[in-house]
Amino acid sequence: MTKAFDPHQAMADARHEFGEHGGVNMSIEASTTFTVMTPDLMPEIFAGQLGPNEGGCYLYGRHFNPTVFVLGRMVAAMEGAEAGYGTASGLSAIAAVIMQKCGGGGKVVSSNTLYGGTYALFEKYLPKNCNVETSFVDIQDLEAVEKAMQNGASVLYTETLSNPTLLTADISALAEIAHKYDAMLVVDNTFTPLIFSPMQEGADVVIHSATKFLSGASDVIAGVICCSKSFIEELMDLHLGSLMLLGPTMDPIVAFRLSLRLPHLAARMKEHSSRALFMATKLQEFGQDVVYPGLPEHPDHALFNRIRNKEYGFGGLFTIDMKTSERADRLMNLLQNEQQFGYIAVSLGYFDTLMSCPGASTSSEMSEEAQDRAGISPGLVRFSIGITGSIEERWNQMKQAIEQC
């Protein structure tokens, strides 16, 4: 059965917005405040009863900016969400959502394999500063998830594809558990835009670090929250909203730049995916310990295949386990400094290849035991495969570097 939802088409439908002079791109609204035409209108505008569509106007840029709004609308459309909102970073999007739902004594149940910053937020920052406790579970162990949810958590949190272990979360099964306990399922879809559509599987909130694939150029830090209109309104509430009051606002110029990247996100994702599959297949034939969900040997290959939108492949990330951190460093050094294969840098989704050793970088917030539990070996190298250069030449570079390790 083919899926009815087409995220690329949905986003194209939502983009349409002429620029001020009929430009094919929207204009950038660079004003932080907006003119109230007569003073008597101010009270109603301030109370949110007289917006631009009701004969009033926009109020203030932290609350609402039309350029940021269009960007949010595009990403929301891609996820099939009612509403979306741009934030200053992916992490601020995550923090705002969790604070809104759980701040002051609430509980989170979360996957134990997370982006390092999110892990530190949940493990250290939120208990210390906001009295929010998180129970970490193996997100693939549905019984353990259900057991943990019995503590009254109001958020179940996961990434679609765990970082850096690339295991797949069964979103529809998790949504069922979350809803049974009256909780929200919050999903970080940063690794798999277009590939997975978590809201179609029952997720309540989808978060993106737009810093990664959505940007594609490693030039902006940004995030997006996709959810119901009512939850966005809650986040934007003048008295109680986390976005409104903590203020992680997206800059309209960033929103504009991202709006020019999203139309070719589909083309980029297909290319990242096909190159990652090519490279992972070659590496496996070459006897390397490679993990990529597109390989039939991957433990979640069937699950990934069942829930993905078929056109976009299996994503741009794979890992090679070099066993020791010394060999991992040697491989990365050769690839960067001898072969010009890519860059030793954290982050992902760039048009060139980025590689890092999670144990020493993005997952270093986790203790050695926690890393071990999450399956992060000290020699694990994560690759975010770029889309530049000839793929055959890239494979030659990789092969030569491995032969010297």
Ligand X SMILES: *Cc1c(COP(=O)(O)O)cnc(C)c1O
The contact set with ligand X (CB under 6 A) reads 89-91, 115, 117-118, 159, 163, 188, 190-191, 209, 211-212, 221, 223
CB of 230 to ligand X, least distance (A): 24
Determine the 3-state secondary structure of 226 from DSSP.
Answer: strand
CB of 156 to ligand X, least distance (A): 16
Which residue's CB is nearer to ligand X, number 168 or number 397?
168
Which residue's CB is nearer to ligand X, number 89 or number 154?
89
CB of 221 to ligand X, least distance (A): 5
* Identity of residue 150: Q
C-alpha dist (Å) from residue 144 to 112, 141, 405: 12, 5, 40
Which residue's CB is nearer to ligand X, number 191 or number 304?
191
User: What b/e readout covers 17-30, taking b as 16+ CB neighbours within 10 angstroms?
Assistant: beeeeeeeebbbbe
CB of 90 to ligand X, least distance (A): 2
CB of 308 to ligand X, least distance (A): 17
Determine the 3-state secondary structure of 121 from DSSP.
Answer: helix
Determine the 3-state secondary structure of 382 from DSSP.
Answer: strand
Which residue's CB is nearer to ligand X, number 157 or number 395?
157
- β-bridge mates for residue 343, sequence order: 354
Which residue's CB is nearer to ligand X, number 45 or number 203?
203
| DSSP conformation letters of 155-188 | EEEEESB-TTT-PBP-HHHHHHHHHHTT-EEEEE
Comparing C-alpha atoms, which of 192, 242, 220 is closest to residue 71?
220
CB of 191 to ligand X, least distance (A): 6
Which residue's CB is nearer to ligand X, number 56 or number 349?
349
What whole-number distance in Å separates Cα of residue 274 and Cα of residue 393? Answer: 15
